[in-house]
Each structure stands twice: as structure tokens, then as C-alpha cells.
């Protein structure tokens, strides 16, 4: 039988010790010793994939999500490694990021700034995401980029083409791999000059919101530099589905080139209308009437069907490219999903790899360290040739593709052919270029 | 208490307890468990619950009492957000002036739209409000871009000319919204064993404002003015025959509910300083109608429940993807697992609209009085033995 020595003093002592023991873990976590927002502590790290799953850009969103899942698989050492094998930086080992297994959460942006921010916030606040990426529209990208800056996480932009994302709305925590409207203009102009001459009259139809405007501005500037004349620029509402009333005045305007600053469903409809009106068979000013679609994607070409044949535009990447990196990516994407990736899929895959690589090189998940590793980073082997992540505005500078709707497609995916690869030097601009002026990166925010 | 009868006091106390203890109630599952997917107790969603609660309470003052179905209420929410963000840009990062301005501007806007729209009733009124809201949306989306920043949404920048305060903090970032120095984004995290609960300053500000708004709504419901509004709903023609001009009352209700929407918009901007044009789109206006009907139009607590319900689906269900599903059903044999995932997948993730739609149909068909009626039926089932003493005042009337 044991003798119990229960004294008042002893009881007090034990209860204090027990109390401290119970409270200890609480104290540590509650006072949050974390150096930055959502510092990963366990054996895994969470990335937030915020893409449109409903709404007008749901197709692009679905393709982005496929690419993200593929990227995570490759980062964790699964699959055939895809572009990790061709990437010029060899920091990634296929064991996750910094030895931590990569996990992800997904959300629906609905292509609305509000919903996108709500979804990104829930990833940061609830799921502990250390990085947010995705999006298929510039408005959403700018909104989510602002949020990530405030919250102190890195934002790797998805498909966003507006100059503003890395122009007047640029943020220290935000990075864009995709090209922009200025680059489209700079890449297209020489090709257009070669094809159609320097004495042309252009008529613009422009989607009436920020992206449309910056693209119109860019294309007008670069074509007028060739000697083209801009006859008229007409804004069309984003929700428009029938463009007949906008096409009819083009016929009598004396213009001989129609530029469609539209994207997604808008472009499919406006191009279809223009072709139905017989614009392409017309002769104006003694020249063939031409149509140009500055921002092209395969998914749009698919929507417009026959009508895209022979129509020129620019794109960030195309699966028919023959470099090793593109071939490796198309192969692993194709093996997993059964069809080639779109440019949206390519850009988000690159962004995920670039982020992971930057973490490895920086040796930390701290957003400020990662941002520093990305700034001024030169790399190759991700399908776009030699690329620079410029430190001044966090924009990638790389070759831009000028493409044309194929006359004789061999499959439902083989809709575009690459006409010219415009070298990066030709699309590079000064950070204080007037189209990008007015913004300020601010300083990097690591949050808590 | 506070000029309320016993039943309303109880209701107010219940609502107060629910909102103040929300961080606990909404996080019932341990953070590491698979069910943590269903936890909703993180600051952003809790803020949305109460903010949309305010919006729906305000909408209910118009729709639930007068029966005027406005399809354009989101316009006031949007106007409120824009005014608040402009206040942050120009005056100070304190939320009080922003919220006050948003309520005033939304009220004036409501006065203008209400004055015109209330010349008609029924479906014509709904269409007029819808038209105004859609006009506001299009203006905000493109025409008024200098004021609204169009599609991108109005945001704070590093070179805002803030009169009382700084354009940028010392370390070069945008200052955050605060209440006399208390940051809205401040969150205290409490860890109790496997559970973690987040207490957010912004949420508690919203919660207190919602309780005030709720109290005001109760007082309006029980006042002679509220009675007059109910009279408009039950028989407007008879009101005119008795020589009473009902329009000023309807207009007052419209303006009050517009101000509630403006308050919600101002709070939204205070929690997250951004105002997007989508906030004014007709789908956003439709959403508040759904919230009110789903919860129970004309009841006090219904709209708040409906708002919580819809926001929960939007934010929690939409985030369940097929990977999560696979992990849930991973205990099953492979073939069965895939079959289960294929079966459930259309209803979650991007299919959350579908699930919500089905639930909405079920509620409208089987519980015309909304969730509140469901609650009442359950209560009655428990109290079956007692004599049925539900008076007409406590039962809900289906929305017309």
C-alpha cells in the first residue's frame, strides 16, 4: 500500500506545473512565433489554385487546374517529371518543395473580383495556403494580387494579358509569366507589315473593359508606328453576343483591316459575325480585307471553327512547338489527360515550377526570400526559350509567338500554326514605358 | 428589455449569442480531421455571414413587410462599397467615416430610384428596380471607369492622397483599415487541443453592427410604421380607399432597406478595401432575394439564416474538389470509390450551384415559409402533446 503525501503546498505545486504544461502548447501557437503568413510547420506545404470553374472562362480554368495537378504530381516526384527535366535550374529534386510534400486546395473565382478574393482569402485564412496562383482574367488577377500583397503571400498570376497587371497595378508580391498586350502589339506589327503592307486603314472593335482598352492602345500604337491609319475604335459591351450591328458600319468606313480586341466567347461571336458578313471576301482600297485577332488561344480557335482559317494573332505558347521542353510538357500532359495542353495550362504549370524552384533556391518559404529569388531570375527550358523575370515589374520577358489559323487542320487540336517566333528583345520595353507607368511595386510583405 | 417584448428579447439574445460565439460554433471539427473541410470559422467567411445578414435583414424590411420585390438591391450595396473605398482613398483609413458615408450615399441613391420605381407596383416595380441596378452595373463596369476603375474594381494604391493619414506606411505598403488604430484584419488564434478558433477584430465589429441592425429591424417590425407597411402588403387598394397615401411609407421602407444595403457594402469595403462592379450585377440582386426566401421572408431571423446558408455553400462546397472526394471514399474498394466520386462530383466543387438550386427548390416546395418554417415544424413535433397555441403572428407566411 502506498502512502499518499498530499499536502496543500504539494497540491499547489503540481497544479501549477500541470497547468503550465497544458497551457504551454497554447502559448506557443497563440503568440504565433511564425515569421511570415502561413509558415509551413508540418511535413507538407499547401498551394492555393484559384481558377474560374464556372462562368465565361470555365474552359480555361479547367485546363489550368489539370496543369496544376500535373505540376504538383511532378514536384512530388510522380509521373515522368515533365518540364522539370528540361528546366535550366536544377534545384528541384522531385521531393516536394524544400523536402515538404506539396498539397493543394482549389477554389472558384467565377471570373468575378469579389468571388476570387473571397476564395483566395479562405485559402489563406482557412487552409493555410502559402502561395496563391491562377485566374483567367486581368480584373481577377489584379484584385487577387492586391489581396496577396496585403495578406503577405506570393501571387503567381495565371492567364492575364492586360498591361496593368505588371503596369499600374503591379505589386511586390505578384509575378506574371504570361505575356501582355504591349508584347502582342510589338510582336504582331512586323508580321502584319510583311503580310499586309504599311498603308492600311484599321478599324478596332474592343471589349469595353480594362483589358480591352490596354490591348487596343497597344495595337493602335504599334500599327500606327508602321504607318497604318486608325479609322475608328468602337467599344462593345462585354456581355454582347451578337456583333452584327457593330460589323455593319465597318463595311462603309473605308477600313481594310478589322482588329478584334476580344477574348473568349466575345471573340468567337464577333469573328463569326464578321466572316458571315463576307468581310474576308471583300476588296477595299484595292486590297483584300483582313481580320486580326491580337490575343489568340486554341480554345477560342476551337470555338470559332472554320472562321479562324488564315487569321493572325499572337499567343504565349503553343503545343506544336518543337523544343525539348514543350515536347516533354505536351507528352506528360497528353499521357495524363489524352489531349494537348492550352497556353493557359502551360503558363500556370510554369508558374508553379518557378515558384517551387525559387523556394528551393531561396531555402525558405518566406515571401520576401522567394520574391528575391524570382527577381531578375534568368532561366530556360520551360518552352519559351530564354526568359527573364524582370525585377523592376515582375514581368517575364520571353519570345512571343505569332500564329495563324491553320487552313488544313489535321485534328481538332491542330488549329493554329506558328508563323513567327518574335525574339524577346523585340517585345521588351522600359519599365517606365507610358503604357505601364503610374504603378509602384511597393515593398514585399511577409505578413504576420 | 430595450422596449421589446419577452419573445423578441429572447430572439435578440439568441442571435447575439450565435454571432458572438460564431468562432466556436462554426469550427466544430478539429483542424487536422477530414471534416475540417466543413469548418467555416475563418474571418473572411464569418464576416460575409454577418454582412450579408445585414443586407438580407434590410431587404426583408422592404420585401417581407411591404411585399415590394426589389430586384435591384445589389446596386445599393455596390454604391456603398464604392463610397467607402473612396473615403479610404481620400480621407482616412478609419472605418467609421467610410461606413457613415456609404449609408448616406446609398440612402440618397435609394431615394432617387425608389421615388421613380414606386410609381408602379408588382412586377413592374421589380422590373424597374432591375433596370436601374443593371444600369448602375454597366455604368460602373465601363462608363464611369474613372470613378469605379471598371472591371478591375476600385482598389487602394500607394499614392492615394489621404488627408488624415499617410499614403503609404513607413515600410512601403498600403495602410490597413482600422477603427481608431485597431486593425480590422487583426486575428487572435486560440488553440485548444486539436481545435483552433480564430477571433477577428473585423468580424466582431461587423457582428456588433449586425446586432444593432437586427435590433432596429425588430423595432421597425413591431412599430406602427411596421404595421402600416404590412397593410401595404395585405391590401394596398383598401389603404387608398381609406384616404391614406401609402407611397411615402413604401418609399421610407425602400430607403431604409437601401441604407441597410449601403451599410453592408460599406462594411464589406471596410473588411477588404476593394469594390468591384460585379457586386451590382443582377445575379447579386437575385442572391439576396434567394437568401430572404430561403430563410423565410417576413420573419425576423429568416434572412440571416438564409444569408448564412447561401454563403456557406458558395465558400465551402465550391472548394471540395475530386481529390478531397477521393480521400473521403478511399476506404472503399477502387471501383466503388471511383463510382462514388463520379456520383457525388457533379454536386460539389464547380457544381455547388446545382446543389444549392436543388435545396432551394425543396425549400420552396416543401417549406414555403423557408428555413424558419422548418424550425417551427420541428419545434411543434416536439411539443405535440401541448395544445397547439401557435398564433398567426409566429407562423410564417409564404412569400408572394
Contact B45 A139 (CB under 8 A): no
Q: Which residue has the higher pLDDT, A380 or B193?
A: A380
Q: What is the DSSP string of B320-388?
A: --HHHHHHHGGGS-HHHHHHHHHHHGGGSGGGHHHHHHHHHHHHHHH-TTHHHHHHHHHHHHHTTTS--
Position B21 pLDDT exceeds 70? yes
- The pLDDT tens digits of the residues spanning B263-293 come to 999 999 999 888 888 888 888 899 899 999 9
pLDDT at B297: 85
- The pLDDT tens digits of the residues spanning A353-372 come to 999 999 999 999 999 999 99
DSSP A8: H
How many cross-chain Cβ pairs, A to B, lie less than 8 Å apart?
135
A118 part of contact set with chain B, CB < 8 Å: yes
Distance, CA of A361 to CA of A286 (rounded, Å): 59
Chain A: nearest CA to B45, how far in angstroms? 7
| pLDDT confidence bin for A28, thresholds 50/70/90 | very low
Position A115 pLDDT exceeds 50? yes
Distance, CA of B128 to CA of A250 (rounded, Å): 35
Q: What domains lie within chain A, and their CATH numbers?
A: 44-179+319-393 (3.40.50.2300), 182-315 (3.40.50.2300)
Mean pLDDT, rounded, for B179-204: 85
Mean pLDDT, rounded, for B86-99: 92
- The pLDDT tens digits of the residues spanning A412-445 come to 888 889 999 999 999 999 988 988 888 888 888 8
Contact map slice: B 94-133 vs A, CB within 8 A: none
Query: Which chain B positions have a beta carbon within 8 Å of A164's beta carbon?
Result: 152
Q: From the centroid of its chain, how far is CA A200?
A: 33
The CA-to-CA distance between both ends of chain A, in Å, stands at: 55
pLDDT at A22: 46
Contact B159 A126 (CB under 8 A): no
Contact A115 B314 (CB under 8 A): yes
Spell out the CATH class of B6-281.
Answer: mainly alpha
Distance, CA of B203 to CA of B316 (rounded, Å): 18
Position A142 pLDDT exceeds 60? yes
B183 part of contact set with chain A, CB < 8 Å: no
pLDDT at B50: 93
Of A4-18, B53-67, B155-169, which has the strongest mean pLDDT? B53-67
B172 part of contact set with chain A, CB < 8 Å: yes
Contact B319 A119 (CB under 8 A): yes
- The C-alpha torsion from B153 through B157 and B161 to B165, rounded to 10°, is 110
Exposure string of B240-258, with b = 16+ CB inside 10 Å and e = fewer, is eeeeeebbebbbbbbbbbb
Judge contact between A149 and A445, C-beta under 8 A.
yes
A33 part of contact set with chain B, CB < 8 Å: no
Contact map slice: B 356-375 vs A, CB within 8 A: none
Q: Which residue has the higher pLDDT, A20 or B332?
A: B332
Query: Of A21-25, A59-63, B16-20, which range is least confident?
Result: A21-25
Residue percentage of chain A with pLDDT more than 70: 92
pLDDT at A13: 64
pLDDT at A210: 80
Judge contact between A199 and A172, C-beta under 8 A.
no
B327 part of contact set with chain A, CB < 8 Å: no
Contact A30 B191 (CB under 8 A): yes
pLDDT at B270: 92
- The C-alpha torsion from B315 through B318 and B323 to B329, rounded to 10°, is 90
Position A352 pLDDT exceeds 90? yes
pLDDT at A17: 58
Of B48, B155, B158, the CB nearest to A118: B48
Of A29, A147, A169, the CB nearest to B189: A29
Contact map slice: B 62-101 vs A, CB within 8 A: none
Query: Of A3-12, A326-335, A388-397, which range is least confident?
Result: A3-12
Contact A149 B318 (CB under 8 A): no
Query: Which chain A positions have a beta carbon within 8 Å of B159's beta carbon?
Result: 440
Domain ranges of chain B: 6-281
Chain A: nearest CA to B322, how far in angstroms? 10
When the pLDDT of each residue in chain A is averaged and rounded to a whole number, the result is: 87
- Please give the model's pTM, rounded to 2 decimal places: 0.85
Amino acid at each position: 500500500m502506498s502512502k499518499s503525501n498530499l499536502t496543500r503546498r504539494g497540491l499547489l505545486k503540481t497544479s501549477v506545473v500541470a497547468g503550465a504544461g497544458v497551457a504551454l502548447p497554447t502559448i506557443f501557437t497563440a503568440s504565433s512565433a511564425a515569421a511570415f503568413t502561413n509558415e509551413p510547420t508540418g511535413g507538407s506545404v499547401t498551394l492555393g489554385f484559384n481558377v474560374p470553374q464556372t462562368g465565361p472562362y470555365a474552359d480555361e480554368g479547367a485546363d489550368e487546374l489539370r496543369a496544376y495537378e500535373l505540376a504538383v504530381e511532378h514536384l512530388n516526384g510522380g509521373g515522368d517529371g515533365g518540364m522539370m527535366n528540361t528546366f535550366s535550374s536544377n534545384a528541384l529534386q522531385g521531393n516536394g518543395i524544400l523536402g515538404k510534400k506539396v498539397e493543394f486546395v482549389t477554389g472558384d473565382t467565377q471570373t468575378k473580383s469579389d468571388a476570387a478574393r473571397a476564395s483566395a482569402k479562405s485559402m489563406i485564412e482557412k487552409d493555410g495556403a502559402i502561395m496563391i496562383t491562377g485566374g483567367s482574367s486581368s480584373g481577377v488577377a489584379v484584385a487577387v494580387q492586391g489581396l496577396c500583397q496585403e495578406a503577405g503571400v506570393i501571387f503567381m498570376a495565371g492567364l492575364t494579358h492586360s498591361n496593368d497587371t505588371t503596369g499600374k497595378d503591379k505589386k511586390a508580391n505578384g509575378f506574371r509569366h504570361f505575356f501582355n498586350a504591349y508584347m502582342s502589339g510589338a510582336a504582331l506589327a512586323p508580321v502584319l507589315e510583311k503580310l499586309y503592307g504599311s498603308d492600311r486603314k484599321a478599324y478596332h472593335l474592343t471589349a469595353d473593359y480594362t483589358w480591352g482598352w490596354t490591348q487596343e492602345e497597344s495595337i493602335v500604337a504599334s500599327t500606327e508606328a508602321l504607318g497604318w491609319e486608325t479609322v475608328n475604335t468602337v467599344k462593345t459591351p462585354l456581355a454582347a453576343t451578337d456583333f452584327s450591328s457593330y460589323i455593319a458600319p465597318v463595311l462603309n468606313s473605308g477600313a481594310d483591316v478589322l482588329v478584334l480586341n476580344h477574348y473568349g466567347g466575345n471573340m468567337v461571336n464577333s469573328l463569326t459575325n464578321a466572316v458571315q458578313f463576307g468581310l474576308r471576301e471583300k476588296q477595299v482600297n484595292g486590297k483584300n480585307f483582313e481580320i486580326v485577332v491580337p490575343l489568340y488561344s486554341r480554345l477560342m480557335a476551337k470555338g470559332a471553327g472554320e472562321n479562324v482559317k488564315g487569321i493572325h494573332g499572337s499567343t504565349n505558347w503553343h503545343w506544336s512547338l518543337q523544343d525539348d521542353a514543350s515536347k516533354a510538357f505536351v507528352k506528360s500532359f497528353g499521357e495524363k489527360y489524352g489531349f494537348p495542353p492550352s497556353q493557359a495550362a502551360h503558363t500556370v504549370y510554369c508558374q508553379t515550377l518557378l515558384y517551387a524552384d525559387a523556394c528551393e533556391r531561396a531555402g525558405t518559404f518566406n515571401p520576401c526570400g522567394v520574391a528575391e529569388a524570382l527577381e531578375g531570375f534568368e532561366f530556360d527550358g520551360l518552352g519559351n526559350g530564354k526568359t527573364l523575370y524582370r525585377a523592376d515589374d515582375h514581368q517575364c520577358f520571353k519570345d512571343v509567338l505569332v500564329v495563324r489559323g491553320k487552313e488544313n487542320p489535321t485534328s481538332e487540336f491542330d488549329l493554329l500554326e506558328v508563323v513567327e517566333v518574335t525574339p524577346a528583345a523585340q517585345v521588351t520595353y522600359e519599365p517606365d514605358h507610358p503604357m505601364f507607368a503610374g504603378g509602384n511595386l511597393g515593398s514585399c510583405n511577409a505578413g504576420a | 428589455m430595450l422596449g421589446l417584448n419577452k419573445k423578441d428579447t429572447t430572439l435578440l439574445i439568441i442571435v447575439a449569442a450565435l454571432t458572438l460565439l460564431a468562432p466556436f460554433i462554426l469550427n466544430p471539427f478539429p483542424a487536422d480531421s477530414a471534416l475540417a473541410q466543413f469548418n467555416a470559422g475563418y474571418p473572411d467567411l464569418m464576416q460575409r455571414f454577418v454582412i450579408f445578414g445585414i443586407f438580407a435583414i434590410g431587404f426583408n424590411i422592404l420585401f417581407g413587410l411591404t411585399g415590394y420585390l426589389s430586384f435591384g438591391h445589389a446596386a445599393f450595396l455596390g454604391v456603398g462599397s464604392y463610397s467607402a473605398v473612396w473615403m479610404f482613398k481620400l480621407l482616412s483609413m478609419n472605418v467609421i467615416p467610410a461606413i457613415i458615408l456609404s449609408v448616406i450615399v446609398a440612402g440618397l441613391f435609394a431615394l432617387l430610384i425608389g421615388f421613380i420605381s414606386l410609381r408602379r407596383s408588382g412586377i413592374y416595380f421589380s422590373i424597374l428596380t432591375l433596370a436601374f441596378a443593371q444600369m448602375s452595373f454597366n455604368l460602373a463596369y465601363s462608363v464611369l471607369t474613372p470613378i469605379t476603375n471598371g472591371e478591375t474594381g476600385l482598389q487602394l494604391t500607394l499614392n492615394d492622397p489621404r488627408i488624415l493619414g499617410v499614403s503609404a506606411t513607413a515600410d512601403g505598403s498600403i495602410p490597413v483599415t482600422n477603427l481608431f488604430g485597431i486593425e480590422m484584419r487583426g486575428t487572435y488564434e486560440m488553440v485548444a487541443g486539436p481545435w483552433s478558433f480564430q477571433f477577428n477584430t473585423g468580424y466582431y465589429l461587423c457582428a456588433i453592427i449586425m446586432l444593432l441592425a437586427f435590433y432596429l429591424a425588430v423595432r421597425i417590425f413591431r412599430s406602427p410604421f411596421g404595421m402600416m407597411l404590412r397593410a401595404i402588403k395585405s391590401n394596398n387598394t383598401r389603404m387608398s380607399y381609406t384616404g391614406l397615401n401609402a407611397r411615402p411609407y413604401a418609399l421610407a421602407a425602400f430607403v431604409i432597406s437601401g441604407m441597410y444595403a449601403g451599410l453592408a457594402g460599406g462594411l464589406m469595403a471596410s473588411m477588404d478595401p476593394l469594390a468591384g462592379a460585379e457586386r451590382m450585377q443582377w445575379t447579386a440582386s437575385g442572391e439576396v432575394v434567394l437568401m430572404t426566401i430561403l430563410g423565410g421572408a417576413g420573419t425576423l431571423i429568416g434572412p440571416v439564416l438564409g444569408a448564412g446558408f447561401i454563403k456557406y455553400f458558395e465558400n465551402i462546397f465550391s472548394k471540395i474538389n475530386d481529390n478531397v472526394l477521393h480521400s473521403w471514399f478511399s476506404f472503399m474498394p477502387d471501383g466503388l470509390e471511383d463510382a462514388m466520386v463520379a456520383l457525388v462530383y457533379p454536386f460539389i466543387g464547380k457544381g455547388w450551384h446545382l446543389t444549392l438550386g436543388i435545396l432551394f427548390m425543396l425549400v420552396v416546395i416543401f417549406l414555403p415559409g423557408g428555413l424558419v418554417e422548418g424550425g417551427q415544424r420541428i419545434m411543434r413535433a416536439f411539443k405535440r402533446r401541448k395544445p397547439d397555441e401557435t398564433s398567426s403572428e409566429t407562423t410564417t407566411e409564404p412569400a408572394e
